[in-house]
Amino acid sequence: MSRFSARTDFPRTWNPLARALAERRARGLPVLDLTETNPTRVGLPAPRPELLAHPGALDYAPEPQGMLSAREAVAAHLSTRGARVSPEHLVLSASTSESYGWLFKLLCEPGDNVLVPAPSYPLFEYLTRLEGVETRPYRLPRAHGFGLDVEAVAAAKNERTRAVLVVNPGNPTGHYLHQGELEALSTLCAQEGLALVSDEVFSDFAWDEEPGRVATVAGRAPPMLTFSLSGLSKVVGLPGLKLGWTHVGGPEALRDEALARLELVADTYLSVNTPVQLALPGLLAHTRRFQAALLARVKENRRLLREARPRNAPWDMVPAHGGWSTVLRIPLEPGEEAMCLELLDAGVVVQPGYFYDLIGGAFLVLSLLPPPDVFAAALEPLVRVLATSG
């Protein structure tokens, strides 16, 4: 009989919401999907497909850290965000998920742990477990707008902690890391010998000017190892092209040792394909057009949601400053899952807050990416159903 590793023994039972959604679609009933986060399916501008038809697309001359021309394009992109970085300090991968896997290999022995924010996107449990690494959550207090509390980070670590992960801005909470928070976290990491891994895939999508906001940890001179992650999936809205990047920073000796080891890991996989690397300068040139359209979409849907909320409604929007989602705080009764099922009966799909480990109340998470006509159509049943709660 075959034996399988415990690392891949994840629960596969559908939750009630997933079952109800599948049943509704099987019956051919309409669905207004406020969970859609795939930018290629919501009518946003895309670059010209010819960009991938480079004359050298079929050549093969692998470079473990990625082609220099591609790394130079990423460095130029980061410079427009205020980060002066060297292409030599960048490592390309197929995605930020793959980058995480490489970093856990680099930093952790089996049984070590990394500190992860809660609430956050439910991905880290899978990525760490597949590497034999454990997660230890640190809470982002709602009283701080889901901002970082360095005391909560310090309380979560133990003798086997190797790194602290931050998501900047939080997903789905939309809170950016601030300068004072980064300084306090840097001091803690330096004192405890911890690396800082900063997931910045949504960093370009700030809704407004915010004093002290940290756009990226790349290009700084931190006292500890830092890894800044992003990629095409969010920056240019092209999740199918599979290219991510990691900037490695920190004290020179540590940084160079990390890069040498990551080069060996990357050389083992050689996961990034040639056509997308050759096309990268042109793809990143599309960034401004795509991001302007996406931010206009997000702001319009937020406006529609604010205007649809009746005065004295039993629900409200949790304050945030960026990203692609919004969080609604709703009454504790009848509960998140019951409310999601009731909304699904009315033809609207949203996510419950517990998907993201939101606690201290009841919450719904909505994507702000759907076309405004779809979003507006969903608001009537959403507001009607929420009006009966509490």
Write out pLDDT tens, residues 17-29. 999 999 999 999 9
Q: Is the pLDDT of residue 179 over 80?
A: yes
Q: Tell me the CATH number for domain 62-285.
A: 3.40.640.10
- Give the Cα separation of 197 and 192 in Å (integer): 15
Which pLDDT does position 389 carry in this prediction? 72
Given a contact cutoff of 8 angstroms between Cβ atoms, the answer to whether 221 and 83 are in contact is no
Determine the topology of domain 15-44+288-387 in CATH: Aspartate Aminotransferase, domain 1 (3.90.1150)
Per-domain residue ranges for the chain? 15-44+288-387, 62-285
Phi first, then psi: give them for residue 123, nearest 5 degrees. -120, -35
| Whole-number pLDDT of residue 388 | 85
Higher pLDDT, 390 or 199: 199
Whether residue 137 is predicted with pLDDT greater than 90 in this model: the reply is yes
What is the average pLDDT across 137-144?
91
**pLDDT tens across 142-174, in order?**
887 899 999 999 999 999 999 999 999 999 999
The whole-number pLDDT of residue 1 equals 56
> Which tens digit of pLDDT belongs to each residue from 203-229?
999 999 889 999 999 999 899 999 999
Is the pLDDT at 177 greater than 60? The verdict is: yes
Equal fold, 15-44+288-387 vs 62-285: no
Torsion of CA 36, 42, 44, 46, to 10 degrees: 90
Rg (CA), the chain: 21
Average pLDDT for the chain: 96
* pLDDT score for 375: 98
Q: List pLDDT tens digits, range 29-75.
A: 999 999 999 999 999 999 999 999 999 989 998 999 999 999 999 99
Read off the DSSP letter of residue 14. Answer: P
Distance CA 347, CA 21 (A): 10
Q: What is the dihedral of CA 51, 54, 59, 60, to 10 degrees?
A: -30
pLDDT tens across 76-104, in order? 999 999 899 999 999 999 999 999 999 99
pLDDT tens for each residue of 3-16: 899 999 999 899 99
pTM of the model: 0.96
